[in-house]
Amino acid sequence: MRIRIIVLLALVAGLLSGCGYNQIQINDEQVTAAWSEVLNQYKRRADLIPNLVSVVQGYAGHEKEVLTRVTEARASVAGIKATPELINDPAAFAKFQKAQSDLGGALSRLLVVSENYPQLKADANFRDLQAQVEGTENRITVARNRYIKTVQDYNVSVRTFPNSLTAMAMGWKVKANFTVDDEKAISTPPAIKFDEPKAAEAKGDGDAMSAGYK
């Protein structure tokens, strides 16, 4: 009796492996882990914004429009429930991606405006936040890349034969993925710089000296 049970279990395991069930499960777990990391990094960015807005407001309070856009964009992101099920809903995922893109754009404009305020750029808190924002943007890029790759692997596993038969029987569908107009934007994190290039400064000084000798 025990031998029959062992043989039966071996047959079931073989069937599950042959139909792609196990591989689909492995790929699904990898997608879940990658998605969690994406959410963690987006949350990290959102958590930095209130302090950043507060510091900027102390030196550039009249930049009300830019500050308001950042605050509203963050509120829009916070209003979306980023659950694990979100990646199974293309429409909801697209809404989430747009909200994050809007927040990233508003944050970039805020940082660009900050370049007009030397005292702000010299503030220790601001410079610390600048470094944290830049680091977080890099982490977001890495997390997105990993998510994109794991979703590609999962989607292939549920669309190719014979795995597709198992996916159809279990009701598993392809998962939503990030899309960009320019694919290079995924692998190139935005550069956040507040100091003027030294070379440019040297050139300006040289030009000024040359003018003085003429």
- Structural domains for the chain: 26-203 (1.20.1440.20)
197: pLDDT strictly greater than 50: no
Q: What is the pLDDT of residue 13?
A: 41
208: pLDDT strictly greater than 70: no
Q: What angle do CA 138, 142, 147 make, to 5 degrees?
A: 145
Both ends of the chain: CA-CA distance in Å?
Answer: 105
For tokens 């882990």, the residue is 33
- pLDDT above 90 as % of the chain: 70
203: pLDDT strictly greater than 50: no
- What are the CA-CA distances from residue 174 to residues 13, 14, 26, 93, 151 (Å)? 24, 25, 15, 13, 8
Q: What is the pLDDT of residue 61?
A: 87
Question: What span, in angstroms and rounded, lies between the C-alpha atoms of 99 and 87?
Answer: 15
15: pLDDT strictly greater than 90: no
Please indicate whether residue 125 or residue 205 has the higher confidence score (pLDDT).
125
Q: Which stretch of 27-31, 51-55, 196-200 has the lowest confidence by average pLDDT?
A: 196-200
205: pLDDT strictly greater than 90: no
Are the C-beta atoms of residues 34 and 41 closer than 8 Å to each other?
no
Return the amino acid letter for 121.
K
Give the distance, in angstroms, between the CA of residue 152 and the centroid of all CA atoms in the same chain.
Answer: 17
Q: What is the pLDDT of residue 19?
A: 76
Question: What span, in angstroms and rounded, lies between the C-alpha atoms of 151 and 44?
Answer: 23
**Residue 182 burial by CB count (10 A; 0-12/13-18/19+): exposed, middle or buried?**
exposed
Q: What is the pLDDT of residue 180?
A: 63
For tokens 């499960």, the residue is 25
**Residue 59 burial by CB count (10 A; 0-12/13-18/19+): exposed, middle or buried?**
middle
Q: Tell me the mean pLDDT in the region 28-53.
A: 96
Q: What is the pLDDT of residue 156?
A: 96
- Average pLDDT of the chain to the nearest whole number: 82
pLDDT tier for residue 54 given thresholds of 50, 70 and 90: very high
Radius of gyration of the chain (CA): 25
Question: What span, in angstroms and rounded, lies between the C-alpha atoms of 189 and 150?
Answer: 20
Per residue in 114-158, pLDDT tens? 999 999 999 999 999 999 999 999 999 999 999 999 999 999 999
Q: What is the pLDDT of residue 47?
A: 97
